[in-house]
Amino acid sequence: MSTHNAYFSLNHITAATRIAVSAPNATRARTVLVLLAGTVALTTTGFGIVIPIFSKRLVELGSGVEVLGMMTVSYALAAFLAAPLAGILADRIGRRPIILASLAAFVAVNVGYVFADSTGTFVALRAIQGAVIGSLMPATLGVVADVAPSNSRARWTGVLMGSVSSGLVLGPVVGGVLYEALGFEAPFIASASAGLVSLAAAVLFVSETRTRTVRRREMLRARHENQQGDQTGKPFVTKLPRPLVVFTALLFLNFMLEFVYGFADLEMVFYVYDRLEWSSVQFGGLVAAYGVAMVSGQVLLGHVSDKRGRGPIIILGLVMTSALYAGLALFTSFPMLIGAAMITGAGEALAAPALSALYLDITPEQHRSRVMGIRESSIQLGGVAGPLLLIVASSWITPHAAFVAAAVLLAVLAIPALATLRRRTHGVGVTRDGIGDRHAAAHGALRGTVAWARSVRPEYISVPA
C-alpha cells in the first residue's frame, strides 16, 4: 500500500479530550473484604478454641511444659518458613488457591488432633498448623491490597486484624467451656467445624482478586524489563519495597514487637499469680481488657493512619504499647493495671494496621504477598527469640527488671521509627489509586497519534466542544 493510500484510509478522526477510566467497584470490594474478615474471624476462633486444651491433653499423655515449648517453637518455625513461600505462590498463582488450601489444611489438622495419641504427633501437627496460619495471612493481606483503595487501606487492614484478634480472644473461652463440659475431643471437633464453615464460605463468596489477566500482564512487563536489562544481576533486590531503609525498619519493628511480647508476657503470667496473688478471674479480666481495647481499636481506629499518615500513628502506637509493662513495673493496683492494659491494646490497634498498610504502600503490586510473607517471618522469628531469651535469662533477671526492659524497649523503638518513617513514602507498584502514570502515558500516546493524523489529513479532524 502506498503512503498516500495509507493516509487516505485514516477516515474521520475525532481528537479525544479525556480518557474514560473504569473505577473500582466499591460495593464489590467492600463485600469481598467483609466476607474475608468474617472467614478469618471464624478460622482464628477455631484456632483459639484449642489453645487452652494442649497443656491439659499433654498432661494426660504424661508430658509437660517441655513438650508444650517444643510445640510452640515448631509452630513458630514452620510459620517462619512457610509464610514467604506462600506469599510467592499467592503472587504467582493467585490469592484464592492459597486461602482455600490453608483452610482445608486447617480442618485436616484439627481432625488429626482428635486422633493424636502421642506427644510426637502433637508436635508434628502443631508445626503443620503453624505453616497453615503462616500461609493464610500473606494471601489475605494481599486481597486487602488488591481491592482496598490506598486511602482506606489501613482501615480495612484494621478490620482484618480485628477479626483475627476477636477470634483469638473469643476462642480460648469457648474451648475451655467445651473441654469442661464434653472432654478434650469437643474443642478440636468445634475448631474443625469452624474451619469447615470458613472453607465453604471462602469457596462460595471469596473470589480471586489477582486474576490471571493481571498476572499475565505483569509477567509480560517483567519479561520486557529483563529484555531491556533493567533487572540483570539483581533479581531479588528489585522485588523488595522501596525505600529499602523503610522496609528494613518495618521488619525490625515487627520483630522487636513480637520479641518483647514473647519475653515479657510469659514473665507476666507467673508474676501476677505468684507475686500479686491474683485469681484466674482477675488475670482473665486483664487479658479481656487488653483484647477488647485492641479488637475495638483495630476496627474503629484502623483508618486513622489513612488520614494522619503512617509514621506518626506508628510512633504513637509504639509509645502506647509500653503502658502495660510500665504499669507492671510501677503499680500493683488491679484497676491501674486494667487501665494500662487498655492503653496498650489501643496502642497496638493503632500501630499494627498502620505498619501493615505501610508495607503495602511501598511494595510493588506484583510482590505484595511475597513481602507480607517476609513480614510474617520476622514476626514469627521474634516470637521464638523472646521466649528463648527468657529461658536463658530467667535465673538472673527479676520480673520487675523484665517489665522495665520491655517498657523501655517499646518506647525506644519510637526513635528508629521516627528517624526512618518520617520521610514521605510512595507506593512503587501500580495501585488502583496510583494508576495515573499509566493513564497519562496512554493519554500522551493517543494525543501523539491524533497529532500525527492531524498533520497528515487536517480536513478530517474534529475536536468536540
Report pLDDT digits (tens) over 244-271. 888 888 899 999 998 888 778 878 877 8
The answer to whether the 25-209 and 241-429 domains have the same CATH topology is yes
Cis? peptide before 243, omega within 30° of 0: yes
Please give the grid coordinates belonging to residue 458. 487536517
Q: How far, in Å, CA of 21 to CA of 54, rounded?
A: 54
Domain locations in the chain?
A: 25-209, 241-429
Q: What is the pLDDT confidence band of residue 422, given thresholds at 50, 70 and 90? A: low
Residue 325 pLDDT > 90 = yes
Residues 451-463: what's their mean pLDDT? 49
- The three cell numbers of residue 295 are 479488637
Confirm if 37 and 160 have CB atoms less than 8 A apart: yes
Residue entry with cell 514473647: 262
Q: What is the CA radius of gyration of the chain?
A: 26
Over residues 213-225, the pLDDT tens digits come to: 877 877 777 676 6
CATH fold for the domain made of 241-429: Growth Hormone; Chain: A; (1.20.1250)
Please report the pLDDT score of residue 176 as a whole number.
79
* Residue pair 95/209 in contact by the 8 Å Cβ criterion: yes
Q: What is the CATH number of domain 25-209?
A: 1.20.1250.20
Separation between Cα atoms, residue 350 and residue 175, nearest integer Å: 29
Give phi and psi for 331, each to the nearest 5: -125, 160
Q: What percentage of the chain exceeds 70 in pLDDT?
A: 80
Looking at residue 427, its pLDDT comes to 38
Q: Output the pLDDT for position 327.
A: 95
pLDDT at 120: 87
What phi and psi, each to the nearest 5 degrees, are found at residue 461? -95, 130
Cβ atoms of 374 and 91 closer than 8 Å: no
| Across 150-154, 207-211, 386-390, 424-428, least confident range | 424-428
DSSP designation for 9: T
Ramachandran sector of residue 20 (left: φ over 0; alpha: ψ -120 to 50; beta: rest): beta
Average pLDDT over the chain reads 79
Distances (CA, A) of 323 to 346, 382, 404: 10, 20, 11
Position 170 confidence tier, pLDDT thresholds 50, 70, 90: confident
309: left (phi over 0), alpha (psi -120 to 50) or beta: left
